[in-house]
């Protein structure tokens, strides 16, 4: 990747997206940082000493994507070297305790937003024969109970990456995913707050001994899972965000980037578990959940 390359990063207001924006801006690239709020744009400008160009972008809004694309096109001469799809939501919780509106929002951001922004940017990326980097998750490869919605969304991102990688190869556009485990950013703190708020809204439905549909109270059935993710958010050490930056840089420097870069020791261990017979893997996972809850 040459110095001065144009890079659009979605979800750049915090966490991995913000770290990537600051890193590439310091190295002299034209960083177009997708943010939803003006205060986030102001913070990026201040922290980068004016090196970052914020772009107002809500990946769930067609009109916002259209306006952002026009802005990006005018600033880059109608060609974009790199798109980093980073915008995403996360929360834990069994599917039965996940309201439909929360599920729809997760899928709109993690999946449909990634599809929509990528599709809109393809003419600019094709012109530059650029790169698409999708920030996925080890959850896109490794299914864990209590993360059903998040796992489904990241599996979709991995599937999109694999198919689009072949679809765009003849056009000179390179596509890969970055699959980190827990990274040392606020995302899982935010996820636990989102989970707690979601469960609080659901609490009245679980208060009676039996639900309106004459089903037993569901809450105790999932207590072990909920306890497991509370401990996960609080106690499992996160991989430094610099490891993600290093993986993205490696992908962008490569003439033939790998399909996927797994980031973090724990993420690599979880990926290895997929080689076990299904029954063994499931038993190991469920036993670890049970132990953590006791």
C-alpha dihedral sign at 89, 276, 97, 224: negative
Mean pLDDT, residues 239-258 taken together = 96
Which position has the higher pLDDT, 171 or 4?
171
**CB neighbours of residue 123 within 10 Å:** 13
pLDDT value of position 142: 95
Is the pLDDT at 138 greater than 70? The verdict is yes
Q: Which token pair is 91?
A: 């929360």
* Overall pTM > 0.95: no
CA atoms within 13 A on the CB side of 285: 20
Distance CA 233, CA 191 (A): 9
Extents of the domains making up the chain: 6-186+238-265
Check if the beta carbon of residue 73 is closer than 8 Å to that of residue 123. Answer: no
Is the pLDDT at 103 greater than 60? The verdict is yes
Mean pLDDT, residues 29-52 taken together = 96
Per-residue pLDDT band for 289 (boundaries 50, 70, 90) equals confident
pLDDT value of position 229: 79
pLDDT value of position 207: 45
150 is a catalytic site residue: yes
Per-residue pLDDT band for 55 (boundaries 50, 70, 90) equals very high
pLDDT value of position 184: 84
Out of 32-36, 116-120, 192-196, 237-241, which region has the weakest mean confidence (pLDDT)? 192-196
Is the pLDDT at 145 greater than 80? The verdict is yes
CATH superfamily entry for domain 6-186+238-265: NAD(P)-binding Rossmann-like Domain (3.40.50.720)
Backbone angles phi, psi at 100, to 5 degrees: -60, -35
Average per-residue pLDDT in the chain? Answer: 89
pLDDT in tens, 159-209: 999 999 999 999 999 999 999 999 987 665 555 555 556 656 555 444 444
């Amino acid at each position: 990747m040459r110095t001065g390359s144009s890079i659009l990063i979605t979800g750049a207001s915090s966490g991995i997206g913000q770290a990537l924006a600051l890193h590439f801006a310091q190295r002299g690239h034209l960083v177009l940082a997708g943010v939803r709020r003006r205060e986030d744009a102001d913070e990026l400008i201040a922290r980068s000493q004016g090196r970052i160009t914020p772009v107002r972008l809500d990946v769930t809004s067609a009109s916002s994507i259209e306006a952002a694309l026009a802005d990006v096109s005018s600033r880059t001469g109608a060609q974009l070297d790199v798109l980093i799809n980073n915008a995403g939501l996360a929360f834990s919780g069994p599917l039965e305790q996940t309201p439909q509106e929360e599920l729809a929002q997760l899928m709109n951001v993690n999946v449909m937003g990634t599809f929509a922004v990528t599709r809109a940017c393809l003419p600019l990326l094709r012109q530059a024969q650029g790169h698409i980097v999708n920030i996925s998750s080890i959850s896109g490869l490794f299914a864990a109970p209590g993360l059903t919605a998040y796992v489904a969304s990241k599996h979709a991102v991995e599937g999109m990456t694999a198919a689009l990688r072949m679809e765009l190869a003849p056009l000179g556009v390179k596509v890969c995913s970055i699959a980190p485990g827990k990274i040392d950013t606020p995302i899982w703190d935010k996820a636990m707050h989102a989970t707690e708020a979601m469960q609080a809204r659901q609490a009245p439905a679980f208060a009676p001994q039996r639900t309106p549909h004459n089903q037993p109270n569901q809450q105790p059935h999932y207590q072990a899972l909920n306890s497991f993710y509370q401990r996960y958010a609080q106690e499992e050490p996160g991989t430094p965000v610099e490891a993600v930056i290093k993986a993205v840089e490696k992908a962008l420097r490569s003439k033939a980037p790998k399909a996927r870069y797994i980031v973090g020791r724990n993420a690599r261990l979880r990926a290895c578990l997929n080689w076990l017979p299904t029954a063994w893997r499931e038993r190991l996972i469920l036993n670890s959940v049970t132990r953590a809850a006791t």
